[in-house]
Amino acid sequence: MPTLVVHQAVATIAREGSAKAADELGGQSYYNAEISVDGEPRGVLFGELRTLRVYEGDDGATWDRQGIATFRFSPRDTIVVAGVVTYPAGQMHSPNGKPFWRVITGGTGEFAGAHGEVESVRSEDGTFTHTFSL
């Protein structure tokens, strides 16, 4: 199964409504970030997160957020991913160093017919590494 490793710069994040409203059930946030492959700039990542569940988990207050993200390598070449990720309440990002997975729902151009999964890991500096299994 071919792999593609994409590095994501620190994202610009916007929350819908007030910061508090974005953290509550149904709250939304949006983000974008530059992406690179093998150290070369390759495009932009666009994403959206919606809080679907707020509950007390094993590690305290927890949010389940459903997201969709488009990795745009060019206007023609994209990969789209989607899934639910668990976040500690009050955090805009997944915990540093803890991987999470989303399904590849499709692609265009060079990635037409793409399927599989992507493993994403946040680094302490706020960047991410996304490893696609295509």
**pLDDT given for residue 94 in this prediction:** 85
pLDDT value of residue 36? 98
- What amino acid occupies position 107? G
Q: Can you give the pLDDT at residue 98?
A: 94
Q: What is the pLDDT of residue 1?
A: 73
Q: What is the pLDDT of residue 57?
A: 73
Residue 18: the pLDDT is 62
Q: What is the pLDDT of residue 90?
A: 74
pLDDT, averaged per 10 consecutive residues of the chain (134 residues), comes to: 94 78 78 98 96 82 92 98 89 88 98 97 97 96
Domain 3-133 falls in which CATH fold? Answer: AOC barrel-like (2.40.480)
For the four alpha carbons of 55, 57, 63 and 66, in that order, the dihedral sign comes to: negative
Read out DSSP for the chain?
A: --EEEEEEPPPEEEESSSHHHHTSTT-EEEEEEEEEETTEEEEEEEEEEEEEEEEEETTEEEEEEEEEEEEESSSS-EEEEEEEEEEETT-SSPPTT--EEEEEEEEEGGGTT--EEEEEEE-TTS-EEEEEE-
- pTM of the model as a whole: 0.92
DSSP string for 67-90: EEEEEESSSS-EEEEEEEEEEETT
Structure tokens at 18: 């007030």
Task: Provide the pLDDT for residue 118.
Answer: 98
Instruction: Indicate the domain borders of the chain.
Output: 3-133
